Chains A and B, each alone.
Chain A
Amino acid sequence: MNQPNLLLSRRVALLGGAGLLGASSLARAQAPAAGASGQVIDINRARTDPIPIALPDFAGGSPQAQQLGRNITQVITNNLRNSGLFRPVERAAYIQTPEAAAGAPRFQDWRVIGAQALVTGRAEPQGDRARIEFRLWEVNSEQQLQGTAYTAAANNWRQIAHVISDVIYERMLGEKGYFDTRIVYIAETGPRDRRVRRLAIMDQDGENNRFLTDGSFQALTPRFHPNARQIAFMSYNNNQPRVYLFDLNSGRQEVLGNFQGMTLSPRFSPDGRSVVLSSARGGDANIYVVDLASRRERQLTSGGGLDVSPCYSPDGSQIVFNSDRGGDQQIYVMDANGGGVRRISFGNGRYATPVWSPRGDLIAFTRMGGGRFGIGVMRPDGSGERILSEGWSMEGPSFAPNGRVLTFYRESQARDSRGSGYSARLSMIDIAGFNERQLLTPTDATDPNWSPLLSS
């Protein structure tokens, strides 16, 4: 149940032949200076041509090292391809061998096959540890954009590959990546009237899946703490639906507090010191904030009706939530102290499950209308609404930490009265509304929530 060690023990800057970058700029990749790579892409642009990138297998001095190199290259390649913003060049077209490229790239060989960027690397197992070095090259200018060596426990090779993917993404796009992250979700099994729902967690690429609870009670709506080590979720333990906290390091869970009535839809505040949630008491449901140190609650709404699904803005100053106080489900924003409530959704249909982007610029939501469900985004003032995906049923968007990708879940329509054909699957989509793809899970899956970057 232990979380893998997230910290890579050592990062060393590698000066390339071109020596473009000093060591100081390598410790933590930063947005390149304008024009440094010529590849700064406006993240809000609707569609961009994906960047052609060549990723020959990382070289190795032994069969074991070569296998490790291949594995790492495969993970990086999948990450970049799945982002929709990179196009790995067909490997059969490669002219220079990976081993030779790892020594010194012959840029002409990569230019003629259309690669704009080239990633080379070397893997060296050292007992139970591994040293992985990689270099990112801009083919046209023949310059090294990045060169770093990582030393870490060998069984952490996947995480090294994700960290390298994030560095490539950031150097090429000028935005932080999201590959060294996990997704917590609800794994669902069994017929729908007797469903077993367990907390589960996996890497963002679907690997390292594991179940965190045993299914003896129903678990719903998990959400990461900003430190990524704790999860708030709703549990039916003892047939009392309450918000619980789950500690990923110890595997321990505890009820957030013995508050009156059902508590649901938890989210941590950006500073990690409190949980905002909904509590159903009497005929209404209202928004409360619970201080984690004192476990004292403070009521924020009392507008009548059902107020659920609260989520803080990334600066902690505002809360977006879902309410039917006006007659049907709509999205409202209020100040973090509960004042200044205003409705922001005015399109056709009902709106639900609002979440604030970590970038602060957008709110993602579920829209229901005309017999269809959709996932969309709007600005926090309600303007600029765009529906990204529509279908029979989908809900519950959650942003990647860079605000560029959403994960959510889709359900399919049952074909008959026995529920045949029903399924629940996780999806990911770019906020520009393209590159939707299904995330494979071992079971039906709902309620995905994306972690922050793990080792930034």
Chain B
Amino acid sequence: MNTKLLGALAAAALLTACASEDTSGAATGAGATGGTGMMGAGSVRPGSQEDLVANVGDRVFFALDSSSVGGDQRPTLERQAAWLAQYPQVQATVEGHADERGTREYNLALGQRRANAARDVLVASGVSSARLSTISYGKDRPAALGSSEDAWAQNRRAVTVVR
């Protein structure tokens, strides 16, 4: 992993913190995507997942048992919509997730409802629904591996992933 990329991630953490979001999960953006399209040169390719993570924020967070997008999370999705308008060739999947403090089957449905809620905000913000798909991983693909309130808050999320 080269240092310039790490620098970009650290910058992303600062950015989102400045935007006064729930900071608990903001710095872990690259984790869910498996690093598609990482550039050896260390520059972030415009329209890539890294670009989305570094300059926009790829995820929104949900309150316990809730699947409605809170007012503090909406700006992230609106920025995503603007970013998607900038790169009309990009298609994305919205992944819905839940924390570990629920049962597997219910959390699969809950994750789907969260993905749909985030998708609906993107569509309301002007993104064509044809460019977006959704999938739920329930509690089965956590971003934070701990068993703490902080970890659960990071895991109740919808992540926009460039396809």
A residues apposed to B, CB below 8 Å: 191-193, 195, 197, 218, 220-221, 234, 239, 241, 261-262, 264-265, 278, 280, 282-285, 306, 308-309, 322, 324, 328-329, 352-353, 366, 368, 392-393, 395-396, 411, 413-419, 422, 446-447
Please indicate the chain B residues that have their CB under 8 angstroms from the CB of A261 in the complex.
112
Instruction: Check B31–A193 contact: CB distance below 8 A.
Output: yes
Instruction: Check B146–A241 contact: CB distance below 8 A.
Output: no
Instruction: Check A322–B105 contact: CB distance below 8 A.
Output: yes
Alpha-carbon separation in the docked complex, A220 to B111 (Å): 15
Partner among B104, B105, B135, B145 whose Cβ is within 8 Å of the Cβ of A414 = B145
Q: Which residue of A lies closest to B31 (CB)?
A: A193
Instruction: Check A264–B109 contact: CB distance below 8 A.
Output: yes
- Minimal beta-carbon separation of B34 from chain A (angstroms): 9
Q: Given A193-B143, A417-B144, does the pair A239, B103 have CB atoms closer than 8 Å?
A: no
Q: Is B127 an interface residue (CB 8 A)?
A: no
Q: Is B108 an interface residue (CB 8 A)?
A: yes
B residues apposed to A, CB below 8 Å: 31-32, 65, 67, 100-106, 108-110, 112-113, 116-117, 135-136, 140-148, 151
A-B contact count (CB 8 A): 106
Q: Given A195-B140, A353-B103, does the pair A280, B109 have CB atoms closer than 8 Å?
A: yes
23 CB contacts below 8 A, A to B, read A195-B140, A218-B140, A241-B108, A264-B109, A278-B105, A278-B109, A280-B112, A283-B117, A285-B109, A285-B113, A306-B110, A306-B113, A322-B105, A328-B65, A329-B102, A352-B105, A352-B106, A395-B104, A414-B146, A415-B147, A417-B146, A419-B146, A422-B147
- Minimal beta-carbon separation of A390 from chain B (angstroms): 15
Instruction: Check B104–A447 contact: CB distance below 8 A.
Output: yes
Instruction: Check B151–A353 contact: CB distance below 8 A.
Output: no
Instruction: Check A283–B146 contact: CB distance below 8 A.
Output: no
Instruction: Check A419–B145 contact: CB distance below 8 A.
Output: yes
Instruction: Check A368–B145 contact: CB distance below 8 A.
Output: no
Alpha-carbon separation in the docked complex, A192 to B141 (Å): 7
New A-B pairs, 9, CB < 8 Å, besides A261-B112, A352-B105, A418-B145: A192-B142, A220-B108, A278-B105, A280-B112, A283-B116, A328-B65, A366-B103, A368-B102, A414-B145
Please indicate the chain A residues that have their CB under 8 angstroms from the CB of B105 in the complex.
221, 264-265, 278, 308-309, 322, 352-353
Alpha-carbon separation in the docked complex, A446 to B105 (Å): 12
Alpha-carbon separation in the docked complex, A352 to B65 (Å): 14
- Minimal beta-carbon separation of B80 from chain A (angstroms): 20
- Minimal beta-carbon separation of A286 from chain B (angstroms): 10
Please indicate the chain B residues that have their CB under 8 angstroms from the CB of A324 in the complex.
106
Instruction: Check B147–A413 contact: CB distance below 8 A.
Output: yes
Please indicate the chain B residues that have their CB under 8 angstroms from the CB of A366 in the complex.
103
Please indicate the chain A residues that have their CB under 8 angstroms from the CB of B140 in the complex.
195, 197, 218, 220
Instruction: Check A308–B147 contact: CB distance below 8 A.
Output: no
Most chain A beta carbons < 10 A, residue from B105, B136, B148:
B105
* Top-6 shortest CB links A-B: A419-B145, A352-B103, A285-B109, A414-B147, A306-B109, A417-B146
Alpha-carbon separation in the docked complex, A392 to B65 (Å): 18
Alpha-carbon separation in the docked complex, A416 to B109 (Å): 28
Instruction: Check A422–B113 contact: CB distance below 8 A.
Output: no
Instruction: Check A192–B102 contact: CB distance below 8 A.
Output: no
Instruction: Check B103–A283 contact: CB distance below 8 A.
Output: no
Alpha-carbon separation in the docked complex, A40 to B140 (Å): 45
Instruction: Check A195–B141 contact: CB distance below 8 A.
Output: yes
Alpha-carbon separation in the docked complex, A419 to B144 (Å): 8
Instruction: Check B106–A417 contact: CB distance below 8 A.
Output: no
Instruction: Check A308–B141 contact: CB distance below 8 A.
Output: no
Instruction: Check B145–A262 contact: CB distance below 8 A.
Output: no
Please indicate the chain A residues that have their CB under 8 angstroms from the CB of B146 in the complex.
414, 416-419
Please indicate the chain B residues that have their CB under 8 angstroms from the CB of A195 in the complex.
140-141
